[in-house]
Amino acid sequence: MLKLDHISKTFNPGTEDAKKALNDLTLHVNSGDFITIIGANGAGKSTLFGAICGDFLTDSGTIMLDGENVTMQPAHERARVIGRLFQDPMRGSAPNMSIEENLGLAAGHGGWLSRLSKADKQDFRERLSLLGMGLENRMKSPVGLLSGGQRQALTLLMATVNPPKLLLLDEHTAALDPGTAEKVLALTQKIVRDGHLTCMMITHNMQSALELGSRTIMMDNGKILLDVSGEERRGLTVSDLLQSFREASGKNLTTDRMLLT
Amino acid sequence: MPMDMIIPLLRTALELGLISSLTVLALYLSYTMLNVCDLSTDGCFTLGAAVGAVVVLSGHPLLAIPAAMAAGMLSGFITAFLQTRMGINSLLAGIIVNTGLYSINIAVMGNTSLLNMNRAETVFAKVHRLLEGTALAREDKLIVALLAVVLVVAFLSVFLRTKLGLAIRATGDNPDMVRSSSINPIFTTTIGLCIANAFTALSGCLLAQAQKSVNIDIGSGMVTVALASLLMGTVFFSKKSITFRAVGAVVGSIVFRLVYTIALRFNMPASMLKLVSSVIVIIAISAPYLRAQIPVLRRRMTAKTQKEAV
């Protein structure tokens, strides 16, 4: 499904700020995998997503997506098969456009000059009602009027209205209040399960990293330290994870954010 | 002022307002929707006027309109190319194209800075001839201008709701979102600027034919005048639909010309037009910012008085 082979990326090469964000990283993602990704700040988690999406070209290595070599493909072409959510709920939708216009743009049905059809609007209304936020009755309101949680739920819908081959979630609930975060997370699980999507999710919550999904990856210094799934992953506790991290990296995984959550 | 003096004044204001509202609609697309302040507008306006005049003088008044629009489109393409493919800041790209267009416009006009269409048949004269004998014949300018404005408003209100239109609006509304989506911002910016500049050139083409002459300075300051009209229009129709806001841009343009025409009657020198439009743009753009500063200033004032009291 997704094959990253020996990819490396150094930002600001040749300067004092040089940072090796990805270090000869190899990762094969199988179709239907739901991978949770954990690691300290600066471990390279978001950079990994950036490499997959084509935000920048990697210095070396190849990226195969669904049998196609996308290493040199521009970001907007890859985005056709990749859905992506960021931590900032404001980032995923256009505030001065209505809910239905945002969804219409994401669905991208028809040619460049086609307009939203009645059937599209009906479809959007049904999808919105599944969120249970009452957005189906506000389809003509500008998205800028929605709350952060509503906007992130809408972004999730936009990213999955055409089932993507790969869904990338970059701490997409971290900026929401706990109640809303839980709701959006439950929604995410439902959409991923119902659509049989392949999904990668960055989280700083080690507990939910183990509870959610089918596989967990731990990153450090641009490398994958730990990659567990199946039998091995079942029964694993947070302290097991911390222990493995210590053994693999020779240091403690302690960021304030991780201890607190 | 007697009625028989007011009517012609109003008519001139209406005609001029409608013709220049095409440039305002161009900015509605590029400035309001795409969030690009296109500073090549002045040069592009003159380009449309010059190309149109040359085609009129060659005896094809109708062909002048598509010719001018095509020239405008090309100019918009170059502005877009500079900012999307050459890494030139969007304001700078507009200024560079504007400067380059000055030479091109002189060349188009045959190395003069003034072209006269007194003896040629303009599109207005043609319409006048078509309507000869009817009561509408005298209103040739109004009819042509109104037709152009209605067509452009109708086009925009349909186009901005198509998939391409939505993509263009999203590019201006949330560039971050577009960067990580399947929309190619280079494509949407290019299409948007091509269309906007076609309208600007159309505006110049019609104004030149209405006054039967082109001066190399015909477009100078147009971007500020049009921006002032656009911002005045948003005062009337701010939270309305795409179509209403486009109509608001036209209304803004007409009101602007009306106020200006009245001011001229009260002996304001004609050269004040640009100063007035500059002031309007300054007020309209800075007002929301200044309004946001008021609570800050008020708190500072109270803090100061409290300190003095202590």
pLDDT digit string (tens) for chain B, length 310 residues: 566 777 888 888 999 999 999 999 999 999 999 999 999 999 999 999 999 999 999 999 999 999 999 999 999 999 999 999 999 999 999 999 999 999 999 999 999 999 999 999 999 999 999 888 888 878 899 999 999 999 999 999 999 999 999 999 999 999 989 988 889 999 999 999 999 999 999 999 999 999 999 999 999 999 999 999 999 888 777 767 899 999 999 999 999 888 888 888 888 888 887 888 888 888 888 888 888 888 888 888 888 887 777 6
From A118, A142, A163, the end of a domain falls on: A163
- A66 plus A159 within the same structural domain: no
Count structural domains, chain A.
Answer: 2
Q: Does any domain span residue A86?
A: no
Contact B163 A77 (CB under 8 A): no
| Count of CA atoms in the C-beta half-sphere (13 A) of A213 | 32
Min distance B236 CA to chain A CA atoms (Å): 18
Q: How far is A145 from chain B (nearest CA, A)?
A: 13
Secondary structure element (H or E) that encloses residue B307, with its range: helix B273-309
Same domain, A168 and A77: yes
| Judgement on whether residues A77 and A105 belong to the same structural domain of the protein | no
- What is the span of the domain harbouring residue B199? 3-272
A81 CB burial (10 A radius; 0-12, 13-18, 19+):
middle
Decide if A131 is inside a domain: yes
Q: Is pLDDT at A236 greater than 90 in this prediction?
A: no
Give the nearest chain A residue to B171 (CA atoms). A94
Q: CA B120 to CA B97: how far, in whole Å?
A: 30
Residue B46 in domain: yes
Q: Which domain holds residue A132?
A: 93-163
pLDDT exceeds 50 at position A93: yes
Query: Does A124 fall in a domain?
Result: yes
Which DSSP symbol is given to A5? Answer: E
Instruction: Calculate how close chain A gets to B309, using CA atoms only, in Å.
Output: 43
Q: Give the span between the Cα atoms of A251 and A64, in whole angstroms.
A: 33
Last-in-domain residue among A163, A187, A208 = A163
Residues A175 and A193 in one domain: yes
On chain B, the residues whose CB falls within 8 A of the CB of A93 are 174, 177
Chain A residues in contact with B185 by the CB 8 A cut-off are 76
Q: Give the CATH number for residue A190.
A: 3.40.50.300
Same domain, A197 and A109: no
Asked if the model's pLDDT at residue A171 lies above 60, the reply is yes
Task: Tell whether B167 is within 8 A of chain A (Cβ).
Answer: yes
Domain-embedded: residue B295: no
C-alpha Rg value of chain A to the nearest Å: 19
Contact across the interface for A97 and B177, Cβ inside 8 Å: no
* Partners of residue B176 in chain A, C-beta under 8 Å: 91
B87: left (phi over 0), alpha (psi -120 to 50) or beta: left
Look at residue A260 and tell me whether its pLDDT is greater than 50: no
Check residue A142 and give its pLDDT: 94
CATH number reported for the structural domain that contains residue B27 in this entry: 1.10.3470
Tokens of B306: 């409290």
> Does the residue B309 lie in any domain?
no
Domain boundary among A117, A147, A163: A163
Identify the helix (H) or strand (E) that includes residue A225: strand A223-229
Assess whether A77 and A202 both reside in one domain.
Answer: yes
Domain count, chain B: 1
Interface contact flag, A91 B177, Cβ < 8 Å: yes
Is B310 within the bounds of a domain? Answer: no
Show residues of chain B in contact with A104, CB under 8 Å. Answer: 163, 166
In our burial notation (b when 16+ CB lie closer than 10 A, e otherwise), range B143-157 reads bbbbebbeebbeebb
Q: Do A76 and B167 touch (CB under 8 A)?
A: no
| B163·A105 Cβ contact <8 A | yes
Instruction: Judge: B163–A92 Cβ closer than 8 Å, yes or no.
Output: no
| Predicted ipTM of the assembly | 0.88
Comparing CA positions, the residue from B118, B117, B138 lying closest to residue B50 is: B117
Name residue B165's amino acid: G
Mean pLDDT score, A57-67: 94
Q: 3-state SS of chain A: helix, strand, coil percent to 5?
A: 40, 25, 35
CB within 8 Å of B253: residues ≥ 6 apart = B17, B18, B20, B21, B24, B226, B229, B230, B233
